[in-house]
Amino acid sequence: MAKKTKRIGILTAGGDCPGLNAVIRAVAKTAMHDHGYEAIGFQDGYYGLTVDKWVRLGRDDVSGILTRGGTILGSSNSHDPFRWACEKGGKIVYRDFSGKALAAYRRHGLDALVIVGGDGTMTVAGKLMNLGMNIVGVPKTIDNDLEGTDRTFGFDTAVTTATEAIDKLHDTASSHHRAMIVEVMGRYAGWLALTSGVAGGGDVILIPEIPYRIESVCECLKGRSKRGKRFSIVVVAEGAKALGGEMVVAKHDAKVPDPVRLGGIGNHLAAEIEKRTRLSTRVTVLGHLQRGGTPTAFDRALCTRFGCKAMHLVAEGAYGQIAALRGDEVISVPIKEIAGRVRTVPLDHGLLAAARSVGTCLGD
């Protein structure tokens, strides 16, 4: 009797980011080249796993995708199989469709499922493990806010995109003698704003970890103006908030696992600055530009290392692990140790100290 060919599944869930295709390529090629596995991909994240929407991932399917942004499998951040939003009588109700996801996993005779995603995705992955699925994870998010790893892929590319935007805004800000506010993503962590702000020479950088005093921000901008600096750059994370205040919420979406959608802090801040300083102030919200584009060389290399590591973990039977970067070494950590936890910027982080040393205002 012929020996059964081993098979893995791959899915990309949550918000998209540069490097997803590079990970898919690395996992699938390592599966075929090093271990003799077949690979299939579930489309649109957990939606594809739950409704059994899939494609084969042969060598030709994953060839030539290393430099492409986005994901050939598609993604979704609104389909949690354990809390599936359905409309009933004009209202949103939630149903547990995890049994359908498990059935698809078994129907394809999978030896393991490689899940590529961030905090929310890994929380669901932990629940799927409890159903009996063999899971290995790869950490993805432009926010760099996943515990257990020094760096998530996609972050370096997003920082580069944000920094290039800040560089360009310097030109128009200096031409019109304005305060220019750049609102970047990051949700509840300030890694993206801090890193791009320092790299782009931001005069003010506001992050969720340090609630800002509007008086401090305005004093900095007025002080620059008095010293003959006729423009200023303010980099603000979407999750930043005033001391004693709340984060600015753009909307609530009951259909997604995390219904809070942040956004609007840039416009809120601009109104306060203009009212208090009379400085002409403009806002640029980078939004989903930060999620797109070809991944940087650093991210391509990291994605390849992460994908290879994930597949090696599968072959070793080391399930329930996620590939992680510690220093320059790719290791593995248990998914259960990182699921549901957010990695924020430590207040003693060296980049914060460096920002203060060069005179950057952090709003405190």
Active site residues: 143
> Distance between CA 5 and CA 11 in Å, rounded?
20
> Would you tell me how many other CB atoms lie within 10 Å of the CB of residue 246?
7
Decide: 142 and 286 in contact? Cβ < 8 Å. no
